[in-house]
Amino acid sequence: MQDKELVLLAIKAAENSYSPYSNFKVGAALLSKSGKVYLGANIENAAFGETICAERTAFLKAISEGERDFVKIAVVGSKTDDFSGPAAPCGSCRQVMAEFCSPDFEIILKDGSEIKTHTLSELLPLSFTKTAMD
Ligand code: THU
């Protein structure tokens, strides 16, 4: 699947954002190695700390469906509907990615009209993963 197509799916996913507090809609589209795409949106809560990011929504959906291998994720976020970005994943989402994805896992972000691809190792260098406990 082309990066652009995944970005369009992430924009579609953001339509279901529940974000009455920040008014910042985030959407994610996660491609698994099986070829399936899992969509996620941010889901806020009156107890702010219980908010769940779009990326983790997508990962938790996929993992709970039995997926374990992932290729790439597209993430978009915006207060308006133009999703000009960039909206980079927060630290907690990067850590969840590191649990399930290899360092070359791709994170696709929208930067204005451009689409930019980053690897997980770029966004989370020197990460703490299960190999540290071997
Ligand atoms: N948010 C995400 O969905 N993903 C991120 O990686 C960063 C932040 C959401 C959480 C909250 O609903 C809103 O953006 C503002 O922080």
* 78 touches ligand 1 (CB under 6 Å): no
Angle at 85 between CA 24 and CA 15, to 5 degrees: 45
Q: Please tell me what DSSP assigns to residue 71.
A: E
Beta bridge partners of 115: 110
> Which secondary-structure segment (H or E) carries 38?
strand 37-41
Q: What is the residue with the minimal CA distance to atom 2 of ligand 1? A: 53
**Is the bond preceding residue 86 a cis peptide, omega within 30 degrees?**
yes
Average pLDDT over residues 3-7: 97
* Antiparallel, parallel or unpaired: β 25-32 and 70-78: antiparallel
Q: Output the pTM of the full model.
A: 0.97
55 annotated active-site: yes
* 19 touches ligand 1 (CB under 6 Å): yes
pLDDT in tens, 46-76: 999 999 999 999 999 999 999 999 999 999 9
* 54 touches ligand 1 (CB under 6 Å): yes
